[in-house]
Amino acid sequence: MSQNIVIAKRYAKALFELAQERQLVSETEQQLKDTAELVKANHELYLILTSPNIGHVEKSAVLSKVLDGHVSDIVLNMVQLLSERGRIDALREIADSYVRIAGEALGILDATVTSAYPLDESEKEAVAVEFSQKLGKTIRVHNVVDASVIGGLQVRIRDHLYDGSLSGKLERLNRSLKSQAQ
């Protein structure tokens, strides 16, 4: 496990506990994702936050100016802390870890659904309902398009892969034929 992921889980867990105390779990999730996206998209802001030539006070002031009124104090304080400790690069992983932690606490699982073409909302909903019934949790579907699946779907939830794709079936058939030929 990479160092950033370990660090991200610690920060995300601490932030989640604080957000839970203040009953700001969902708001914090959205603000954290938005802030991570902002830092990624705004190259100038990223350079300021990672520059060794700019002091912590100045970085903190920039973050306050950019984020004040858009995020809660717990998100602002965390981003300032990351900047101060030279860990702003972990912000995306922290946001991802926070989403997982908050989702688990709220009974939500993320499913990455890989298909040969983009799924429409009704297809995503059908996948969510099917796996929700099987797993007893609310399923949040994220669609990834990969033409190599040919047809059908691959659904990844946590560490489990449910492979109903045509490419997966062809691969299993190929292995079966090879094992019978030996």
**pLDDT band at residue 115 using 50, 70 and 90 as cut-offs:** very high
Q: What CATH number is associated with residue 173?
A: 3.40.30
| Residue pointed to by tokens 């429409």 | 120
What pLDDT score was predicted for residue 140? 94
Q: Which of 103, 136, 151 is the last residue of a domain?
A: 103
Q: Which of 51, 78, 103 is the last residue of a domain?
A: 103
Q: Is the pLDDT of residue 4 over 80?
A: no
pLDDT, average across residues 79-108 = 93
**pLDDT band at residue 137 using 50, 70 and 90 as cut-offs:** very high
Beta strand pairing status for 138-145 and 108-115? parallel
**pLDDT band at residue 37 using 50, 70 and 90 as cut-offs:** very high
Q: What is the pLDDT of residues 8-36, one digit of tens each?
A: 999 999 999 999 999 999 999 999 999 99
Q: Which residues constitute the domain of residue 65?
A: 3-103
CB of 45 closer than 8 Å to CB of 38:
yes
Do 74 and 12 sit in the same domain of this protein?
Answer: yes
pLDDT, average across residues 141-152 = 94
pLDDT, average across residues 68-77 = 95
Chain-wide mean pLDDT for the chain? Answer: 93
CB of 108 closer than 8 Å to CB of 97:
no
Q: Which of 53, 79, 103 is the last residue of a domain?
A: 103
